[in-house]
C-alpha cells in the first residue's frame, strides 16, 4: 500500500468532554479541526464561487464521485489534471464514494457482494460500480481524501439487512484499500451497522483491523432519533484511535455538530446551509428565519443584527424576501453566503470553547436555540 498522504495531530484536548482541536495536513493545505465541509456535490458549492468560499474561510469542501462519474465524466476531469484545476479550487477536497447516492438516487439498484448495478438518475443508462472501480474513479478525480465504497441502508432497517450491509461494507473497504494506487491521497474507512450497537462495534473492529488514514461514522442522520445518533457516535469515538481524524457524515444542525464535537468528532458535512439558502431559510444566532414569510415584507432589519457578514451589513430582510419571492437568483446567493458565514463562525466558536473549557455551555445554548426554532 502507498504511504499515507495525511498527517493528523492533536493541538488541544478539552478536560471536560471528549472534544479536541486537531491539525490535518493534506496535499493541498492544512485544515484545523473541528471543521465543516460545505457540499460541492458536482464540483460546485451551489450558488457560491471559489473566491467567495475562500473569503469565507472555507478550508475544505466535499465533492461526490458518483455525480462526477456520471457528469462531466472522469476523463474530462482527468484531462484537466484533477478536480482542483477543473473547478479552480486550490484548497483540500474530500470526495464521497457515492454509496449514499446510489442508494438514494439510482433507478433499479441491485446490490451484490461484488458491487452495485444501477441506472443513472440522469438518463437511465446502466452502470456497474465495484470497490475497485470507485477507488480508480476517485484517484482519477484527485481529491485529497477519498472514501471507501459502502452499502448504505435506510432507517429503520431490519437487523439481518443491517448486518449484511455492515459485513459487505467492511469487505468492500478491504478491497478499496487493496485497489489503492496513488500515494498522494488519504483513504478513509466508513463505519456501519445501522442503529444496532453490536453491529457498530463489529464494524469498528473489522474496519480498524484493515487500517485507514481516518474513519467516517456512516449510516446515521437518516431519520433515527437524535438521542440514538449521539449514543452511536459516542460508542464509535470511544473505540476509534485518538491519532486519526473522525468524520461524522451528513451532520448537521449547529447543535448536532456541537454535540458531536463534545463526543470527539473532528469533521462534518451537510447540505443544510446551502439548501436552506436556496429555499429562503437563514441560520441566525437566535434560530432559523424563513424569509419567505409575509411578516418580513417590510422588515428593514438585517437577517441577524449580530452577524458580521456583508449580507447582514448591507441588505434587509424585506429585500431578500422580495428576491426569493421573485425567483431572483441573487436571493439564494445572498442567503447561502450568510448561512455559510454562520457555519464558519460556528466552527470558530467551537474552537474557542474547546480551548477555554466552555464547550458544554455552548452545546446547551445551541440546544436551546434549536428547540425554540
What pLDDT, in 10s, does the model give residues 270-324? 999 999 999 999 999 999 999 999 999 999 999 999 999 999 999 999 999 999 9
Count CA atoms closer than 13 A to 173's CA, side-chain side: 30
DSSP element (H, E) containing 22: strand 20-26
pLDDT confidence of residue 105: 80
Per-residue pLDDT band at 3 (split at 50, 70, 90): low
The tens digit of pLDDT for each residue in 72-85 reads: 999 999 999 999 99
Write phi, then psi, for 220 (nearest 5 degrees): -115, 180
- Cβ burial of 122 (10 Å; 0-12, 13-18, 19+) is exposed
pLDDT confidence of residue 108: 78
The tens digit of pLDDT for each residue in 219-240 reads: 999 999 999 999 999 999 999 9
What is the DSSP secondary-structure string of 220-272?
Answer: -SSS--HHHHHHHHHHHHHHS-TTS-EEETT--SHHHHHHHHHTT--EEEESH
Nearest to 141 by CA among 96, 175, 172: 96
pTM of the full structure: 0.97
What is the DSSP secondary-structure string of 313-360?
Answer: HH--HHHHHHHHHHT-HHHHHHHHHHHHHHHHHHHHHHHHHHHHT-HH
The tens digit of pLDDT for each residue in 236-272 reads: 999 999 999 999 999 999 999 999 999 999 999 999 9
- Cβ burial of 176 (10 Å; 0-12, 13-18, 19+) is buried
- Cβ burial of 25 (10 Å; 0-12, 13-18, 19+) is middle
User: For a pLDDT cut of 90, what percent of the chain falls above it?
Assistant: 93
Q: Is the pLDDT of residue 12 over 90?
A: yes
Nearest to 192 by CA among 226, 225, 215: 215
Write phi, then psi, for 330 (nearest 5 degrees): -60, -35
pLDDT confidence of residue 357: 98
Virtual torsion, Cα 155, 112, 209, 152, nearest 10 deg:
-20
DSSP conformational letter for 147: E
CB atoms within 10 A of CB 139: 21
Instruction: Determine if residue 154 is left, alpha or beta; phi over 0 gives left, psi from -120 to 50 gives alpha, anything else beta.
Output: beta
The tens digit of pLDDT for each residue in 42-59 reads: 999 999 999 999 999 999
pLDDT confidence of residue 86: 98
Q: Is the pLDDT of residue 166 over 70?
A: yes
Domains of the chain: residue spans and CATH: 7-269 (3.20.20.105), 277-372 (no CATH)
DSSP conformational letter for 6: -
| Rounded average pLDDT over 174-199 | 97
Cβ atoms 284, 350 nearer than 8 A: no
Mean per-residue pLDDT of the chain:
96
Per-residue pLDDT band at 1 (split at 50, 70, 90): very low
Cβ atoms 110, 117 nearer than 8 A: yes
pLDDT confidence of residue 104: 84
The tens digit of pLDDT for each residue in 320-365 reads: 999 999 999 999 999 999 999 999 999 999 999 999 999 999 999 9
Nearest to 190 by CA among 165, 169, 205: 169
Provide the grid cell at 156: 429503520
Q: Which residues are tagged catalytic?
A: 96, 269
pLDDT confidence of residue 4: 67
CA 260 to chain centre: 13
| Rounded average pLDDT over 17-23 | 98
Cβ atoms 136, 64 nearer than 8 A: no
Which residues pair with residue 212 across a beta bridge?
none
| Rounded average pLDDT over 159-173 | 98
pLDDT confidence of residue 109: 86
Amino acid at each position: 500500500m502507498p504511504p499515507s498522504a495525511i498527517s493528523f495531530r492533536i493541538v488541544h484536548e478539552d478536560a471536560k468532554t471528549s472534544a479536541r482541536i486537531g491539525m490535518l495536513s493534506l496535499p493541498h493545505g492544512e485544515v484545523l479541526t473541528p471543521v465543516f465541509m460545505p457540499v460541492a456535490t458536482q464540483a460546485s458549492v451551489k450558488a457560491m464561487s471559489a473566491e467567495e468560499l475562500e473569503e469565507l474561510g472555507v478550508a475544505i469542501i466535499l465533492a461526490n464521485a458518483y455525480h462526477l462519474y456520471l457528469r462531466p465524466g472522469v476523463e474530462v476531469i482527468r484531462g484537466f489534471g484533477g478536480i482542483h484545476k477543473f473547478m479552480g479550487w486550490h484548497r483540500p477536497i474530500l470526495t464521497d464514494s457515492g454509496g449514499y447516492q446510489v442508494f438514494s438516487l439510482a433507478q433499479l439498484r441491485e446490490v451484490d457482494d461484488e458491487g452495485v448495478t444501477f441506472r443513472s438518475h440522469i438518463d437511465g443508462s446502466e452502470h456497474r460500480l465495484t470497490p475497485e472501480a470507485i477507488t480508480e474513479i476517485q484517484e482519477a478525480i484527485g481529491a485529497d481524501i477519498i472514501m471507501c465504497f459502502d452499502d448504505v441502508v435506510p432507517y429503520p432497517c431490519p437487523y439481518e439487512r443491517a448486518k449484511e450491509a455492515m459485513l459487505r461494507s467492511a469487505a468492500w473497504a478491504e478491497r478499496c484499500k487493496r485497489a489503492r494506487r496513488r500515494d498522494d491521497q488519504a483513504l478513509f474507512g466508513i463505519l456501519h451497522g445501522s442503529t444496532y450497537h453490536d453491529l457498530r462495534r463489529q464494524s469498528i473492529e473489522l474496519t480498524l483491523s484493515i487500517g485507514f488514514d481516518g474513519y467516517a461514522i456512516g449510516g446515521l442522520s437518516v431519520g433515527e432519533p437524535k438521542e440514538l445518533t449521539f449514543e452511536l457516535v459516542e460508542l464509535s469515538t470511544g473505540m476509534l484511535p485518538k491519532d486519526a481524524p473522525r468524520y461524522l457524515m451528513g451532520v448537521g444542525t449547529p447543535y448536532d455538530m456541537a454535540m458531536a464535537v463534545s463526543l470527539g468528532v473532528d469533521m462534518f458535512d451537510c447540505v443544510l446551509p446551502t439548501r436552506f439558502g436556496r429555499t429562503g431559510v437563514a441560520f441566525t444566532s437566535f434560530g432559523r428565519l424563513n424569509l419567505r414569510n409575509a411578516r418580513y415584507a417590510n422588515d428593514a432589519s438585517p437577517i441577524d443584527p449580530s452577524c458580521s457578514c456583508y449580507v447582514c451589513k448591507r441588505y434587509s430582510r424585506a429585500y431578500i424576501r422580495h428576491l426569493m419571492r421573485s425567483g431572483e437568483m441573487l436571493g439564494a446567493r445572498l442567503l447561502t453566503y450568510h448561512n455559510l458565514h454562520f457555519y464558519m463562525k460556528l466552527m470558530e466558536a467551537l474552537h474557542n470553547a474547546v480551548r477555554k473549557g466552555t464547550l458544554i455551555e455552548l452545546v446547551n445554548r445551541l440546544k436551546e436555540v434549536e428547540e425554540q426554532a
